[in-house]
Chain A
Amino acid sequence: MSTSSTTDAPPVIHRLRKPVIDRLLTVWGVLVLVFLFAPIIVIVIYSFNTGRLLSSFEAFGLDSFAALFSKHVLSDAVMVSLRTGFIAALLATLLGTLAGIALARRPGRWAAWFMGLLILVSVTPEIVDAISLLPWLVFLGQDLGLSMFNDGTVRLVIGHSLFSVAVVSYIVRARLVGLPANLEEASADLYASPLRTFRRVTLPLAMPAVLAGLLLSFTFSLDNTIVSSFVQVSGSTPWPVYVLSALRGGLRPEIAAVSTVMLLITLAALAVVALVLRRAGDSSAQIARTMAGG
């Protein structure tokens, strides 16, 4: 079947009755996009509110951004989030990459069980992770006396890593499954040791997925609210938990300002992910699948 003959003919025929429904679909699509962006745009606009309360706009100004630097609770919360995100992303990427490579290249009977576990981890509602981690960390830290589990950063990193490990494993596995293993076989035939093959062939092949997983894990961690609000200890409050607690006492424009800043950081990380995947030759549907967490 030649593609030119099929692309030439139909559009002419379909133009005749296409417009009504297709135009409605386009209108629908644009409306949905407006709906999706409405609250985000509102938050960005209201971050320039100089009033005392977030929801009543008084005048346009940068006061709330200045408050990010003058209010230490707020800047501390952002720093806690960035530090946790960095550590959690590295950890999840390390564990997830190894697991993903194993799933793609050395699947055994264990692989089905392991995939089952990963799916279970990723579909478990966050509230369940949160309420089960809290007693467990208290048990490890206080009943068993392992004092590292009383540390705020350790607790947050553990809580944030679970979902990310699953996501990184999926992404790395999906990438390697799509690439035949013959390069690795060639490397082994040329007497490279397994470790050398791993380092020089497998890992570079998986690299775009590893980088994407790293950045995705970082943004997952920045966004994590529910688990964080359970496992955090005072003194290491990440920014979404700070926002959650501010909710009870009336929201101020600084909340919108810190949200805008975090949004920019997240978008920058995601733009890099998309760029990495695009350069690795993924289609936009593949990128969507990867960025939606597998």
Chain B
Amino acid sequence: MRRLRLPGLALALPAWVWLAVFFIAPVAVVFWYSFGYKPGLFGTHATDRLSFDRYLEVLTPTFFDTFVATMNIALTGTALCFLIGAPMAYWMAVKAPPSWRGLLLALVLVPFWTNFLVRTIGWQVILSPEGWLSQAAQTLGLPAFDILYTRGAVLLGVVYNYLPLMILPLYVAFDRVGEPLREASRDLGAGRFRTLWRVTLPLARPGIVVGVLLVYIPLMGDYITATVLGGAKGNMVGQLVAAQFQTAQNWALGSAMAITLIVIIVLSAAAVGAALWLVSWPLRRSYRVRLDSGVTQ
């Protein structure tokens, strides 16, 4: 007897259609526009003549310099997020008393859920030369703050804004390793560092990759942080793309920039992934425990 079953595709169909119409189609259109041109002062785009000219325009020094600066900030920011976030996640998942863990997670989630722009404005207030921190420094005889609207301020802002995205997957990864495995490692005579190096880190590797990509990808496209904290000096690629659509009204060039940005993000994310894979080579050699092979279950 055949039961009447709703095929899965039918249930997922509304979401399919929705994403096809409002995600795939728009990106496809942008791809198409990127081969067009801007007709005159008041038009935004025209596609009756198709060419690669906009891509050549993208590769001018202005865009290239901004792109290198963006990449620089994205890589430095991701590395800093990892260096700050990894010990934090390790502490939360392994060292902090288990009864604190829920509270600590909630505390990390609150900034993650506070509006991005608002958090960045908070830093603008803290760093501003008229702010209380600057005034406190001045009463102590130190010079007034001169950090706002520098590259350092942008870096601080992006590290701050994306840190929770690094901590959360790392926490999940460290938590997944679990106390019994670490205990087993110590019972078998491994020291603390040996346990960290040969058990905890290899098992947390997927979480590390996820954390790095979760920080790096949105960071490459971010421009709000740079606008608020970097002023004119903090130009990021996202800002250039946005300007083509919002002020210059040159959708053809903006589209070509956006497509270039997507390609760069995909390629560099793949490169970052490959680099992580290479760096973790010594770790993998000591990979002895697999969670799915029934060690913990």
Residues of A near any B CB (own CB < 8 A): 6, 10, 14, 17, 21-22, 25-26, 28-29, 32-33, 35-40, 42-43, 46, 54-57, 94-96, 98-99, 101-103, 105-108, 110-111, 114, 117-118, 121, 123-136, 139, 158, 161-162, 165, 169, 188, 193-194, 198, 219, 222-223, 225-226, 229-230, 240, 243-244, 247, 251, 255-256, 259, 262-263, 266-267, 270, 274, 284-285, 287-289, 291-292
Contact = CB atoms under 8 A, between A and B. Distances in A.
B117 interface: yes
A223 B14 contact: no
Contact of B95 (A17, A26, A247, A251): A26
Given A39-B125, A223-B115, A289-B172, A111 B15 contact: no
Contact of B8 (A10, A110, A251): A110
Nearest to B11: A102
8 contacts: A6-B180, A33-B108, A43-B119, A108-B8, A121-B23, A230-B245, A285-B93, A291-B113
B27 interface: yes
Contact of A133 (B22, B44, B87, B224): B22
Q: Which of B15, B106, B175 has the most CB of A within 10 A?
A: B15
Q: Which of A94, A128, A266 has the most CB of B within 10 A?
A: A128
A174 to B, nearest CB: 12
B8 A105 contact: yes
A125 B175 contact: no
Contacts of B91: 25-26, 28-29
A110 B217 contact: no
Nearest to A107: B8
B245 A40 contact: no
Interface of B: 3-12, 14-16, 18-19, 22-27, 29-30, 33, 44-45, 84-85, 87-88, 90-93, 95-96, 101-102, 104-126, 128, 130-132, 160, 163-165, 167-169, 171-172, 175-176, 180, 183, 186-187, 192, 213, 217-218, 220-224, 227-228, 238, 241-242, 245-246, 251, 254-255, 258, 261-262, 265
Contacts, number: 276
Contacts of B187: 6, 10
Contacts of A259: 115, 118, 121
A129 B96 contact: no
Contacts of A25: 87, 90-91, 95
Contact of B23 (A35, A127, A129): A129
10 closest pairs, A vs B, by CB?
A39-B122, A125-B221, A106-B8, A102-B11, A136-B26, A132-B26, A99-B15, A102-B12, A102-B8, A259-B118
A127 B221 contact: yes
B118 A266 contact: no
A194 B125 contact: no
Nearest to B118: A259
Contacts of A131: 30, 241-242, 245, 254-255, 258
A88 B262 CA distance: 26
B188 to A, nearest CB: 12
A288 B125 contact: no
Contacts of B132: 57
Contacts of A111: 8
B111 A127 contact: no
B235 to A, nearest CB: 14
Contact of A42 (B5, B125, B221): B125
B203 to A, nearest CB: 14
Q: Which of A101, A107, A118, A127 has the most CB of B within 10 A?
A: A127
B27 A132 contact: yes
B115 A101 contact: no
Contacts of B175: 285
Given A36-B107, A162-B22, 5 more contacts: A39-B121, A133-B26, A165-B18, A270-B113, A285-B172
A28 B89 CA distance: 10
Q: Which of B117, B167, B254, B262 has the most CB of A within 10 A?
A: B117
B122 A38 contact: yes
A126 B101 contact: no
B186 A40 contact: no
Q: Which of B5, B101, B115 has the most CB of A within 10 A?
A: B115
Contacts of A33: 104, 107-108
Contacts of B112: 292
B289 to A, nearest CB: 15
A105 B12 CA distance: 11
Nearest to B22: A158
A196 B218 CA distance: 42
A100 to B, nearest CB: 9
Given A108-B7, A134-B245, A42 B113 contact: no
A77 to B, nearest CB: 13
A126 B122 contact: no
Nearest to B94: A25
Given A6-B183, A25-B95, A259-B118, A132 B12 contact: no
A23 B186 CA distance: 20
A110 B110 contact: no
Contacts of B96: 26, 29
Given A127-B241, A230-B246, A285-B172, A110 B18 contact: no
Q: Which of B96, B109, B228 has the most CB of A within 10 A?
A: B109
A277 B27 CA distance: 35
Contact of A126 (B12, B221, B265): B221
